[in-house]
Amino acid sequence: MNYSDLEESIKARRTVYPISFSGNKAPKSIIEKMLELANWAPTHLRTEPWRFKVFSDLGLVSLLDECKDQYVKNVPAQKFNITKLDRFEKHKSSVSHIVAIVVKISGKVPEFEEMAATAMAVQNMWLYLSNTNRYGGYWSTPQYLMNEDFNKCLNLNRDEKFLGLFYVGELKDNAKLTKGNRSNWREKVEFIKTS
């Protein structure tokens, strides 16, 4: 890969929401390659803290049913939106796989380092999917899933933390992706030169 391919890959990666998924399943080879590449993220002391639980088929249906229950239980009445509940039903037929993103806290390095490493693993997955030109992903972190009850459904150990769901699917032929947009990088950077 040359530099311009890398630049293009980074800038072309987009969040692909399930509304843009065709409903076709991603083959096992795609899912396995995605997870293999996730495993190449950098990691302090090689703790390799990322853990993934991959839901498909009936597993995906049960997970989405659980998400619905959590939504009903945890979203306050004034924020409750019935179309969100319907969305989970639609996801059952549009999404190929859902990956629960988990970090296993080793205690050997500060916790933020293991969260950072796990996020880099997710970026690897996302870039890979984008590069297939056929599959895409979306990282979802709803507050109503961030609780002990949902952790139990995911069978998390005490040293594991849930960092969200990564939805994977095949893009529809006419999928319109959100427009990539970032404010000027220079506004976020300070160059410090002291003699």
Ligand X SMILES: Cc1cc2nc3c(=O)[nH]c(=O)nc-3n(C[C@H](O)[C@H](O)[C@H](O)COP(=O)(O)O)c2cc1C
Tokens at residue 139, please? 């990282």
Residue 86 CB, nearest distance to ligand X (Å)?
A: 16
- Provide the minimum distance between the beta carbon of 114 and ligand X in the complex, in angstroms, as a whole number: 14
The three state secondary structure string of the chain is CCHHHHHHHHHHCCECCHHHECCCCCCHHHHHHHHHHHCCCCCHHHCCCEEEEEECHHHHHHHHHHHHHHHHHHCCHHHCCHHHHHHHHHHHHHCCEEEEEEEECCCCCCHHHHHHHHHHHHHHHHHHHHHCCCEEEEEECCHHHCCHHHHHHCCCCCCEEEEEEEEEEEECCCCCCCCCCCCCHHHHCCCCCCC
Nearest residue to ligand X, by Cβ distance, number only? 15
Q: Which residues bind ligand X (CB under 6 A)?
A: 14-15, 139-142, 164, 178, 180
CB closer to ligand X out of 179 and 193: 179
- Nearer Cβ to ligand X (46/179): 179
Q: How far is the CB of 127 from ligand X (least distance, A)?
A: 11
Nearer to ligand X, 62 or 141 (CB): 141
